[in-house]
Structure 1
Amino acid sequence: MRDAYIIGAGQTSFGAMPGESYRSLFTEAVDHALESVPAGIDADAVDEAVVGSLGVGGRQIGLSGPAVTEHAGLHGVPSARIENACAASGYAVRQAIQAVRSGMADVALAGGVEVMTDMSGDAAKYWLGVSGETEWERLTGTTFAGVYAQMASAYFDRYEATPEHLSRIAVKNHANGAKNPNAHLGFECSLEDATSAPAVADPLNLYHCCPTSDGAAAVLVAGEEVVGEYTDEPIRVAGVGAASERVGLFQRDTYTGIDSSAVAAAEAYDSAGIDPEDLDFAEVHDCFAIAELLAYEDLGFCERGAAHELVESGATELDGALPVNASGGLKSKGHPIGATGAGQIAEAYKQLRGEAGDRQIPDAEVGLTHNVGGSGGAAVVHVLEREVAR
């Protein structure tokens, strides 16, 4: 099986985009990805395209892949949509990598798009809720904030973490997002702001929750035989892992971890031949601050029950031993559901190429992205590494 490389990646700004459509946003992201390829590339070099989207608002649910790829100039390219809730474009990237590794494509494009801000609050809650377990969660009134609040309560009951640790994660991610021109909530906040905010679902408050966003992201993947045509400093896909879990929280064995994340991470580390200690940074799925806290343990950054100690140590800060969510994460950068996973890859690509501006992590060589669907029904992890000049 041949190696696959990220040769380009781009995204739109994330936020409220009343003048844009899902087609125009996806086209902008594809243009940015094409422009980011060091030696240049034309759209007609793309052999395959995979688009991640939940389809919030019911936009073009059927044939939504061709609807956006044709608009973006990928004429005649086989394209399809993948839906895996918030992990949709993370899985799209995985499928593009599979297409390249198998030899079915020399260059594949994976992307994602979502428009979420042009509807009422009730409509938005409905579309967010469709990724929850239908019979016993969604139809009984449980929201995603409520599900993650249950996870937070269970974690606080079992371990020594407190809501203040979640607030400290929010402060960190806002500080990073303030350095990201593409961030939806690109402003800093104080610990007082993040601890005294209005409650959303106890023990989670407003600053523990990510925004709903519009946006798109796109990633270009190339095979080892052709990568030299596009760059002398490729970003190698060192490892990939993915797993599924029961959709309903009540169906699982534990509330204090996400098994799909742990299984996906173990597979990614094994295929990359590395351990968590080898990482220089990570972009993790922090739809709620408790999700980032759980990810520290699920991804092997620390022992079970010790995530709050990692927060207190400062290790996950931008200047720490393992910076987490230098982009601002979902909390600050934003969460356009279908675009989030590909957006994480775009951030990792920038970091590994030394192009992340004020939030650049010095000498970054190995990075991880972690994308979760719903409350853990699906997860996908990618390990990327910078190669020396070819």
Structure 2
Amino acid sequence: MPTGIYIAGLGQSTTKESVEKYAARYIKELEYSTSGINYYTKVEKIYYNEDLSSLAVRIFQHPKEQPKSQKDTLLYSFYDFEYNELLNQKFQNKNLLFKNIALLLLVVRKFPRIIVSLFKKTTYTKGGQTFYMFLMFLIMSLSVLLIFPSLLQFIDGKNLTFIKEHLSDWQIDILRFLKNFSKITLPITSLAIIFIPESNTLLTKVAAEFTTIDNYIQYGEQSQIIQGNFDALVEYIVENEENPNIHLHTYSFGSIIALDALFPIGTEPCNNVLNNIKLLITVGAPYEFIDSYYPNFYSERTDNMSQQIEWINVYSTLDAFASNFRKDNKAGKAQFGIKGKKEVPINLNYEIARKEKCNVFSFLTLKHITMHKSYWDDSKSGQSCTRLIFKKMKELNYFSIKT
């Protein structure tokens, strides 16, 4: 029985998304492909390891002329795999200052690599846009820190006289400088808050997302427990689904979680993964983005799954994060896969805007960054890249319609 594991993106990428909505898009494609058949879902919350849960969404078909007493046919099951809370829990209860400093330190630490990527020829062809993005993050994080010198405006002459008795001359000079400097920084910061109404909220989300990604990639933070939970979910599916043929449906950073499970560092995938996962689907996979800024992340990966799975990759050439696994930013067949591995994805190009419409204004307003959310609409009834995936899955006999 074909069974999918849905692994969503992280932070901003998961806004208003769910496994139920993802399954609903497949039902819509089924309805467009057939006539005389009704499709519906049944949703069940299952526990696969102590307090770890997943939503199981099963797609059934019921021919309109079939008696209601006759049992409906199960076509496909989706399970969602949640990892967001594990990655974000370190930052959820931290204040804005902590998150801001974390983002600032991350940008400063990666900036030399960002500069190098502008001039070093790699397969990642969107370094200019991401450089501008990181520059904006640097300005955003600095703007919050620049608020604090404004607090020195409360220091009047009497207070300064009192402070002189407890500080040395050079410390007094620093206070005077910061007080004068705050006269410039406070208006600038105020303007930023006025013209970017949700700047604090945006900064909080950005800080949490990028710092957690950095910690996962750079230090392996939470990676072992996440991969352990993934193995537990696969084990549950193997034990509870009839002859499961498992497909991984992944979006954005979820594709990195999946690649870690299929091609782990210094070890082999568990037997349930080796024997039962047959298909990997990546949408907007940031493989080349990560490989450019973390060049050792995909090194020393085991290769057992290369001959076990097929790989469908959906990308947009306008998406600053999506990988087309080519040496240029053009639509076409993939030219390589994971570093040093034999597996090369089947590329599916999905665009909702013409490339010539993206100009200097689009660059400055980070349109290439926001295009990362363009693979489907918030509504489950809108058009999406699901049609391309569904068609390719049928072509490869991974999704069959029973009549």
**Fold conserved between structures, TM > 0.5:** no
Band of TM-score, shorter chain: 0.3 to 0.5
Where relative contact order (Cα < 8 A, 6+ residues apart) is larger, the structure is 1
TM-score by length of 2: 0.34
Q: Greater helix share, 1 or 2? A: 2
TM-score by length of 1: 0.34
